[in-house]
Chains A and B, each alone.
Chain A
Amino acid sequence: MRSGVNIRGAGWIGPREHGRVRKGIRAAHADGADLNTIWKGDPVFARHAKNFGRFDAASRVAYYAAALALDDAGWGDPPADGQGLGMVGTGAAGCLASNLDYFKDYVSCGRTLARGNLFVYTLPTSPLAEAAIHFGLEGPLLYALSPDRPLAAALEMAAGMIRRGEAAGMLVMEFADGGRDGARPSKEPLEGRPPLAVKSARDEPCRPMPCEALCAVLSAQAGVPVEQATEGSQTDVVAAWERAFRTGDL
């Protein structure tokens, strides 16, 4: 049974490219671009996020993916009805990379003083919250993970909220490990080692796309029915949705 909720548009950011699904636009990241610099390329990122320099990797990716998705949905930046828009995030790893980053840094500093700016990212909702702050999204905000079907379940949850009138629209964002996680840990224990000998992920150069994200915008406006979301890799899902918008049939 259809919920009457549709995918209005979607944006995604991958290892080498980013794109908008409904508009069928794909763009390579600029040469040498990484999470610090990609915003200098595509004009969709023209209104840069305040405090971007303090964002962790997931928050930067979330900002980019949300900007692409909202543009693809034709909702502008900031969207006109931000008060009615919420977010559901999903992804198997939660905020594992940020957790490691924070705790390794804390231990490397002698276990006496943690960095607040790293601690605030040790919640799976933190990247979503950063995007919500920038775009003024005041609806429900949560992370939800159904391990066997993460994207589909998150889409269903968001669709349910719209159908029940709890939100006018929802962004659904799935994160995936880009496979080049800058926080990949060493197996050597840190306890007892001289503090400065220990490198945390923040000591390493920012690597391109330590994680990827796909962000769908859901609403009751015209689009492809949310029931027809597909599983598979994000590449598969993006390709399937692009086809659906092109042909009008998913």
Chain B
Amino acid sequence: MKAVVAGADIVTAYGWGVAPCWQGLLSGRSAITRVDRFGARAFQSPNAGIVRDLDPAAADSLVLQMLKPLIARAAGGIPADAFLLLATTVGEVDLLERFVLNGSGQPEDSRPDRLLAKVGRLYGAREPGAVVSAACASSTTAIAQAAALIRDGARDAVLVVACDAVTEFVFAGFSSLMALDPERARPFDRARRGLSVGEAAGYILIESDERARREGRDVRGEVAGWGLSNDANHRTGPSRDGRGLAVAVRKALESAGVSAADIGSISAHGTGTVYNDAMELKAFRQLFDSPRPAYSIKGGTGHTMGATGLVEVVVALESLREQVVPPTVNLREADDEAKGWASAEAVKLAGTRAQLSVNAGFGGVNAALVVKRGPDA
């Protein structure tokens, strides 16, 4: 039994849909702009990856403003019996902000189970579903769980929905940790100084190959393998030696029944912080005999936290379909350790069938997926 991607859609700072994001990344243009949603003068950076036209004063939370149109655009393409997995780090935390600042609503409005119920109602889910949260590896972990449910035969359709928004809550926090690049994140760059916060939402419908065939789905690819691990090292910083991420990747390769030699390209976590990017490159060196074309999208979209894994899988499937690795946006001069891996230019692939997608997060979480090309690519 295979777990295949039978549908997907996203919204990022590049706009609504997969195509604007993919084209934006290919062009090398960053969608990170000045924050106008709250005062950012006191913070380390004035910039973030913002989805235009979201209204912080609207009745709906920011994430729900992103999810409602996305699910509506699916136009009945999401089956009601698809088991819902909602991936997020802070969800509707702007509702908590409103309570603290204005006394409106209740703090419990921001609880993840409340958002889960709202999302389920958007497509008429038959069951309540589950929230999955693993810091910035939340949606990667949720996709892994979805694929596991399919391969175990427990489910034949799982809808993974992921979302996180740029809020003062989150922005102030990252600034307090001195984690932000004052301008725009430059993953794997010699002069990188930190991350840029971003927001995004999206869904991936994962079905068994048998069900997708029966329903005549346009299969975009396969979630072929997954691996999860923890550094058990520090509550915010990754393990310096990359060993934990390497463990997650080895588990993913084994789960996919492939070897490192079968991986033609890598979607890195690539936040733009000194330590994360260095850690990833160390991990890649432990795993691969020679460099692979690797890229990060976070210079373009910003770091979309709980949504980042899902957005990156969607981009990875485009990369496999088009047989090109997008440039790492904002990369000007690659760190010595990144030379041969990340590039400021797009890189053509030749017959690559499998891509590795990795994410890491606070608390030492690591998550890796092996995604394969769709059958008609």
Contacts and interface: CB of A to CB of B under 8 A. Distances in A.
Contacts of B256: none
B175 A114 contact: yes
A116 B176 contact: yes
B205 to A, nearest CB: 20
Contact of A141 (B129, B230, B236): B230
Interface in B213-230: 227-230
A142 B101 contact: no
A116 B90 contact: no
A130 B230 CA distance: 11
B132 to A, nearest CB: 5
B364 A141 contact: yes
Contacts of B364: 129, 132-133, 141
Contact of A119 (B129, B131, B148, B176): B176
A157 interface: yes
Nearest to B41: A112
A104 B176 contact: no
A103 B97 contact: yes
Central interface residue in A115, A136, A147, A164, by most chain B CB within 10 Å: A147
A90 to B, nearest CB: 9
Given A111-B42, A164-B148, A104 B100 contact: yes
B145 interface: yes
B134 interface: yes
Interface residues of A, number: 59
B146 to A, nearest CB: 12
A104 B108 CA distance: 15
Contact of A103 (B100, B132, B176): B100
B103 A103 contact: no
Interface in B84-136: 89-90, 93, 96-97, 99-103, 107-108, 110-113, 116-117, 128-135
Contacts of B231: 138
B338 interface: no
A103 B93 CA distance: 10
Contact of B362 (A102, A123, A164): A123
B172 interface: yes
A187 B152 CA distance: 47
Interface string B163-199: 0000011001111110000000000000000000000
Interface string A178-209: 00000001011111000000000000000000
B141 A142 contact: yes
B68 interface: no
A112 B171 CA distance: 11
Contacts of A160: 148, 152
B64 interface: no
B361 to A, nearest CB: 8
A102 B171 CA distance: 13
A75 to B, nearest CB: 15
Interface in A123-180: 123-126, 128-130, 132-133, 135-148, 153, 157, 160-161, 164, 166
B8 interface: no
A141 B363 contact: yes
A190 B98 CA distance: 10
A68 B90 CA distance: 30
A119 to B, nearest CB: 3
B100 A114 contact: no
B89 A123 contact: yes
Interface in B13-45: 39, 42
B111 A94 contact: yes
Contact of B145 (A100, A129, A157): A157
A145 B233 contact: no
Given A94-B112, A185-B107, A125 B228 contact: no
B365 interface: yes
B228 A126 contact: no
Contacts of A38: none
Given A102-B173, A125-B135, A130 B235 contact: yes
Given A133-B234, A191-B102, A142 B365 contact: yes
A146 to B, nearest CB: 4
A234 interface: no
A229 interface: no
B247 to A, nearest CB: 7
B247 A138 contact: yes
Nearest to A189: B103
Nearest to A167: B228
A145 B112 contact: yes
A82 B232 contact: yes
Contacts of A130: 235, 363
B244 interface: yes
Given A106-B172, A124-B112, A141-B363, A86 B177 contact: no
The 6 closest A-B pairs by CB, nearest first: A129-B363, A119-B173, A140-B228, A189-B103, A114-B172, A112-B42
Interface of B: 39, 42, 89-90, 93, 96-97, 99-103, 107-108, 110-113, 116-117, 128-135, 141, 145, 148, 152, 168-169, 172-177, 227-236, 244, 247, 251, 255, 361-365
29 contacts: A93-B108, A93-B111, A100-B100, A107-B101, A111-B172, A113-B172, A113-B176, A119-B173, A120-B236, A122-B93, A123-B90, A125-B362, A125-B365, A129-B230, A129-B363, A133-B234, A138-B229, A138-B230, A138-B232, A139-B229, A141-B364, A142-B132, A144-B130, A145-B112, A147-B113, A148-B128, A166-B251, A187-B103, A188-B103
